[in-house]
Amino acid sequence: MLLDLDGTLVDSRRDLATAANLLMRELDLEPIPLKTVVSFVGRGARTLVRRALDHADPAQRVSRTDPRLRRFLAHYESVLLDTTAPFPGVRAGLAQLKARGVPMAVVTNKPISPALRVIDGLGLTEYFGGILGGDSLPTRKPAPEMLIEAARMLHVPLQSCLMVGDSDVDMEAAESAGIRGVWCSWGGFHPEQPRGECERVDVFDELVLLARSS
């Protein structure tokens, strides 16, 4: 089983918004509402920063080496465990899946350094046979390479995997990789079910049952 992180396993909305607004304050720009920042999450830190700056000042531009991206990441590293927590049922569900021998990996577009800190800081590392971040490979979701590599790390056939996530990015990645996509509705980051074919789960227990029947 391949799982997204933000909006799927953990609720990191407030810490991501705090980091974005620390950057806005540093640049003398207006703060951005929580709901708006959350809508920017899913395609990696650079996209989040670009969208935040476009929202605050459309004249802003962000390159791959833009120092403002590094400043955002520095701010985020300083707050990433302030309020972030697993969603209800996640910890118990992961324990059940591990006990049943279900191989699991995290596949997130969040950069690998903060992803590892969040997962380890919340005591979730033991459940995963692999963790890939948005800078682990040359491409990231919705390209399929991260999913292919995660299956390799788990030593399982790609076709046996489910890709579980809360956004269209995750479902597009599943489609690109030719595997089943499972959309979780509980995250609150992207409340609208993605278009296209995907299964839906509303609580983590349903995901446990789905894995049992797979």
Give the distance, in angstroms, between the CA of residue 100 and the centroid of all CA atoms in the same chain. Answer: 24
148-178: pLDDT as tens digits? 999 999 999 999 999 999 989 999 999 999 9
Q: What is the SS3 string spanning 34-84? A: HHHHHHCCCCCHHHHHHHHHHHHCCCCCCCCCCHHHHHHHHHHHHHCCCCC
- Alpha-helix runs per DSSP H in the chain: 13-26, 34-39, 45-56, 67-79, 90-99, 112-121, 145-154, 168-177, 204-213
Better-scored residue on pLDDT, 203 or 212: 203
97-129: pLDDT as tens digits? 999 999 999 999 999 999 999 999 999 999 999
Same domain, 17 and 66: yes
* Residue where a domain terminates, one of 79, 107, 131: 79
Same domain, 74 and 94: no
pLDDT of residue 135: 94
Same domain, 185 and 104: yes
Same domain, 59 and 144: no
List the CATH number of the domain containing 63: 1.10.150
Full residue range of the structural domain in which residue 117 is found: 2-11+87-213
Q: What is the pTM of this model?
A: 0.91
Is the confidence at residue 198, as pLDDT, over 90? no
Q: How many residues does the chain have?
A: 214
Same domain, 65 and 106: no
How many Å apart are CA 137 and CA 149, to the nearest integer? Answer: 9
pLDDT band, residue 64 (cuts 50/70/90): low
Report the 10 Å Cβ neighbour count for 149: 17
75: nearest Cα among 52, 108, 109, 107 = 52
Same domain, 61 and 120: no
How many Å apart are CA 25 and CA 202, to the nearest integer? Answer: 36
18-51: pLDDT as tens digits? 999 999 999 898 999 998 998 888 777 888 888 8
How many Å apart are CA 136 and CA 66, to the nearest integer? Answer: 19
pLDDT of residue 53: 85
Per DSSP, what are the bridge partners of residue 107?
A: 132
Same domain, 167 and 122: yes
Same domain, 99 and 188: yes
Number of domains observed in the structure of the chain? 2
Same domain, 122 and 192: yes
- On whether the CB atoms of residues 146 and 136 are closer than 8 A, the answer is yes
Same domain, 46 and 152: no
List the CATH number of the domain containing 113: 3.40.50.1000
pLDDT of residue 63: 62
- The residues annotated as belonging to the active site are 4
How many Å apart are CA 174 and CA 190, to the nearest integer? Answer: 17
Stretch 172-185: mean pLDDT: 95
pLDDT band, residue 71 (cuts 50/70/90): very high
pLDDT of residue 214: 65
Is the confidence at residue 65, as pLDDT, over 80? no
Give me the percent of the chain exceeding a pLDDT of 90: 73
Same domain, 144 and 178: yes
Give me the percent of the chain exceeding a pLDDT of 70: 95
- On whether the CB atoms of residues 189 and 200 are closer than 8 A, the answer is no
Same domain, 19 and 59: yes
Q: What is the mean pLDDT of the chain?
A: 91
* Residue where a domain terminates, one of 63, 79, 95: 79
Residue with tokens 């991260």: 146
Q: Token pair for residue 171?
A: 């479902």
Q: Which long-range contacts (CB under 8 A, 24 or more apart) does 48-54 make?
A: 48/16, 48/20, 48/72, 49/20, 49/23, 52/20, 52/23, 52/24, 53/27, 53/29
